[in-house]
Amino acid sequence: VKRNFEIVLILLVLLIGFVQIDAEEGRQIAITVDDLPFVTMGGGTKDVEPIKQWTTKLLAKFKKYRAPAIGFVNAGKLFLDSKEVAQNTALLSMWLDAGFELGNHSFGHKDFHRVPWQEFRDDVVSGERVIMGLLKQRGQTLRFFRHPLLHTGNNMEKKNTLAAFLADRGYRVAPVTVDNSEWIYARAYHYAIEAGNKKQMKQIVDSYIPYMEQKLQYFENQSKLLLGYEIKQILLLHANELNADHFDKLAEMMEKRGYEFISIYDALKDKAYTSKDSYIGNAGISWIHRWALSQGEKGSFFKGEPEAPEFIKKLAGINYE
């Protein structure tokens, strides 16, 4: 009898340990959403109604899970034949009226690593006017900048020039810790919607949620490896159909892992965000990895990062990641 008791006790201890590893208390994460008003909206749009419906859906899900998300705007998408379209700008008001913050993601989503400095600088500045106008009406100010493609500069001079310029204009940079290829899933999902292929839509979602959980798990571990604790994470998502339809599943998975949703402003109170960042690589990567590289971490530190499965890439028509 005593022996059975001991076995039960050992199993219990193991079980508690296991549950704790998977759902640690006090985890926090900020949701950031890029390419507003909507990913599938190119230069303006003639029929804004479907995008309005997608936006309504997406914002309702953020509200339901009390996720104080921030949206990063490409103001160029509001313009049709170089004229600002009021119905497009109204999509942004929906975010603000629902209590969400907006930041600048540049006017035309230019790649800082590919265009001359003046061109990129102008793209940042032209991105401001519409957002600032909307914020001003509500007594708010423009606080955050998110780099397109997370490209912060591929040489030290460029990186420092942009950082100083953004600080000078009153921006805080919006880093990403949980980087991922949600955008590949979203593209595959968009094609499945267009094809009216419900079975494929479901297949994509059934892979999306576990994939995102693996990414979270990976960056939780990377944070512990580098910092000794789990940082207040910042997740990168996009304004797309996939999240409008399924953010609830994503939120429930995160809640199960013990996450509480916080604003990017609160996430940045984590002292880790002041870590040295001398990364000048070409790729837009997680800030956890930028700090790791700045500290001289090598190959083995980064191993095991989950990738989107081949069938998803294929459906999205993408052969890289």
The binding site for Zn ion (CB under 5 A) comprises 34-35, 148
Residue that the structure tokens 């959980």 belong to:
213
Sign of CA dihedral 193, 198, 203, 207: positive
Return the number of the residue (34 or 241) whose C-beta is nearest Zn ion. 34
DSSP symbol at 318: -
Q: How far is the CB of 238 from Zn ion (least distance, A)?
A: 7
Q: How far is the CB of 109 from Zn ion (least distance, A)?
A: 6
Q: What is the DSSP string of 126-193?
A: HTHHHHHHHHHHTT----EE--GGG---SSHHHHHHHHHHHHHTT-EE---SB---HHHHHHHHHHHH
Residue that the structure tokens 């119905």 belong to:
87
Q: How far is the CB of 100 from Zn ion (least distance, A)?
A: 17
Return the number of the residue (34 or 230) whose C-beta is nearest Zn ion. 34
Return the number of the residue (63 or 109) whose C-beta is nearest Zn ion. 109
Return the number of the residue (27 or 290) whose C-beta is nearest Zn ion. 290
Q: How far is the CB of 106 from Zn ion (least distance, A)?
A: 8
Return the number of the residue (88 or 240) whose C-beta is nearest Zn ion. 240
Helix or strand (DSSP H, E) at 15: helix 2-22
Q: Which residue is nearest to Zn ion (CB)?
A: 34
% helix, strand, coil for the chain, step of 5: 55, 10, 35
Return the number of the residue (35 or 270) whose C-beta is nearest Zn ion. 35
- Torsion-angle region of residue 81: left (phi > 0), alpha (psi -120 to 50) or beta? left
Q: How far is the CB of 237 from Zn ion (least distance, A)?
A: 11
Sign of CA dihedral 179, 261, 245, 93: negative
Return the number of the residue (102 or 201) whose C-beta is nearest Zn ion. 102
Determine the straight-line distance between the first and last CA of the chain, rounded to whole angstroms.
56
What is d(CA 169, CA 172) in angstroms, rounded to the nearest whole number? 9
Q: How far is the CB of 148 from Zn ion (least distance, A)?
A: 5
Is the omega angle on the peptide bond into residue 37 within 30 degrees of 0, that is, cis? yes
Q: Which two tokens stand for residue 308?
A: 């989107």
Return the number of the residue (182 or 230) whose C-beta is nearest Zn ion. 182
| CA Rg value for the chain | 21
Q: How far is the CB of 207 from Zn ion (least distance, A)?
A: 22
Q: How far is the CB of 40 from Zn ion (least distance, A)?
A: 13
